[in-house]
Amino acid sequence: MPSFVPTNAETLEEQRRYTQARLVEVECLDCLAKVSVKKNSEHHTSIQWSAEAVAACPELCRRTRSDSRDGDRGCPRLAASIEAAVAGGALSVGAEDGY
Amino acid sequence: MADTRTLDHGTTPLRYARGWHCLGLASTFSDGKPHAINGFGTKLVVWQDSKGELNVLDGYCRHMGGDLTQGEVKGDNIACPFHDWRWGGDGKCKEIPYARRVPLRARTQRYETAVVNGQLLIWNDPEGSAADRDILPPELPDVLTDKYTPWSWHTKEINGSHCRELIDNVADMAHFYYVHFAFPTSFRNIFEGHTATQFMESTGRPDKTTGGYSDANSTLKSVATYYGPSYMINWLTVDYKGFVTEVILINCHIPTGPDSFTLQYGISVQKPEGLDDKTVDYIAERYTESFGEGFLQDVHIWENKVAVQNPLLCEEDGPVYQLRRWYEQFYTDVADIKPEMTDRFEFEVDTTKANEYWHAEVAENLAKRAADDPETVSH
């Protein structure tokens, strides 16, 4: 059953642009997780995980269900791996056309 | 002009979200009378039976369409005011006092129920699946004990917008400055499975005084998680001049039609130690008032905006497209849910530049005010 169906074909291209464009694969230096990352600036980070990547990350696997409160700060090892990818030039930093 | 951008309003969904929906505080339904709640394009009837269980059925009798919410609770059943057909909480017709027997197929729409944190939740699924109790919102430790104030609960009907407008706020960094008058200094999102979380830290704008976020003397650390499509728990740590208060805000809604919903919100405040009850109540009331004002600020925007399927984003905006992709899972048959709707996604907004510009604007506003009215500022 359709829901929130766009009425303009260009909207599908927008959805692709905002959710997939410029994603670069980054491998964790400590485990087998591979994620897709985009960095528009030093502070900005967008990380797309897959189910396989989450299963490979010991940090995320240690979480318990209802403790979102103190939260989920993300995996520090992956954060370090992303920094290394930026430093090594594999992941470029900067927004194109603002997205 | 070919390069002029147009708004794609899209089409509104033809169904209501699958998941748990909160109808309000369980205690409001426990007086042995039928209660009416608008939801899912119909009216629901809610009543408590003799065992203390809360039951929820479609509000219209399957006999001749009588309004069960105007009927009577008889024994454990709800009796229709039209011909006294008696319906049980399991959705079956139990008795027709004037008939030799109850017809086959005398079964109406029932909603499975759960009571969490003193609130009544019901499971909605257009596919008719059994309730998934593994994805109920978590029980909040210490709430409903004397460590916290009782829920202060409020209801607001919203007309002219789909409830997705409310969900969009999860990814909306900049509206905290413009609508809620705060500087969001840190802003992150994590979407995963059936949950979507916003981590936000803010301080109030000194040039504004309305709403829960705007006090310049207070800083806020907020973690807000949607458990499914409609029930959010927002843990707020408010630091007011060094006096720290833990506030829990529940933000939930029931869709009532294709472009209307009922917003409900409840607030419970951890009682600060060493204060008497009267002061604690006073503090709780102030927080209730100010966060309630915060919702009204949002409501005004929603009621006047249009739906946008193709929002145009800038670098400082949050991940609206990914949030909507997550939200879509609740409007999709379970068999058609795509991995990207539930896969973990993390996003951190860079708030540095935005806050530079905003601080400059606020400084300008304060300077203007000082020039216009030197008296006020000196106080």
Per-residue b or e along B237-274, where b marks 16 or more CB atoms closer than 10 Å to that residue's CB: ebeeeeeebbbbbbbbbbbbeeebbbbbbbbbbbbeee
Contact A7 B10 (CB under 8 A): yes
The two tokens of residue B341 are 């709707």
Chain A interface, Cβ < 8 Å to B: 1-8, 10-11, 14-15, 18-19, 40-51, 53-54, 60, 65-66, 68-69, 71-72, 74, 95, 98-99
* pLDDT the model gives residue B212: 62
Phi and psi of B55, rounded to 5°?
-125, 145
Residue B74: CB atoms within 10 A of its CB come to 13
Q: Is-contact B131 B145, C-beta < 8 A?
A: no
Place of tokens 């509000």: B59
pLDDT at B337: 97
> Which pairing describes strands B110-111 and B93-95: parallel, antiparallel, or unpaired?
unpaired
Domain limit, last residue, from B81, B101, B135:
B135
Side-chain-facing half-sphere of B163: CA atoms under 13 Å: 29
pLDDT tens across the length of chain B (379 residues):
468 888 888 887 789 999 999 999 999 999 999 999 999 999 999 999 999 999 999 999 999 999 999 999 999 999 999 999 999 999 999 999 999 999 989 999 999 999 999 999 999 999 999 999 999 999 999 999 999 999 999 999 999 889 999 999 999 999 999 999 999 999 999 999 999 999 999 999 999 876 667 777 889 999 999 999 999 999 999 998 898 999 999 999 999 999 999 999 999 999 988 888 888 888 888 888 888 888 888 888 988 898 899 999 999 999 999 999 999 999 999 999 999 999 999 999 999 999 999 999 999 999 999 998 876 554 4
Closest to A74 (Cα-Cα) out of A87, A62, A89: A62
Q: Which residues on A lie below 8 Å from B223 (Cβ)?
A: 68-69, 71
The domain locations on chain A are 23-87
**Are B331 and A11 within 8 A, CB to CB?**
no
Domain end point (choices B81, B106, B135): B135
Token reading at B12 = 């509104």
Complex ipTM: 0.94
pLDDT at B320: 97
Domain with residue B82: its CATH number is 2.102.10.10
* Same domain as B161, residue B197: yes
Cβ atoms within 10 Å, residue B372:
10
Domain-ending residue, one of B86, B105, B135: B135
Sign of dihedral through CA atoms B210, B211, B214, B219?
A: positive
Domain that holds residue B96: 19-135
Looking at this protein, which amino acid is placed at residue B73?
A: V
* A72 contacts B310? CB cut-off 8 A: no
Position B166 scores a pLDDT of 93
Q: How many distinct structural domains can be found in chain B?
A: 2
**CB-CB contact of B177 with B311 (8 Å):** no
With respect to residue B11, please indicate whether it lies within any of the assigned structural domains.
no
Which residues from chain A sit within 8 angstroms of residue B197, using beta carbons?
Answer: 68, 71-72
Q: What is the CATH number of the domain that holds B243?
A: 3.90.380.10
Assess contact for B348 and A44: CB atoms under 8 A. Answer: yes
- Sign of the Cα pseudo-torsion (A58, A62, A68, A69, in order): negative
Judgement on whether residues B187 and B275 belong to the same structural domain of the protein: yes
B42 vs B57, B124, B300, CA distance in Å? Answer: 11, 13, 25
pLDDT in tens, B226-245: 999 999 999 999 998 898 99
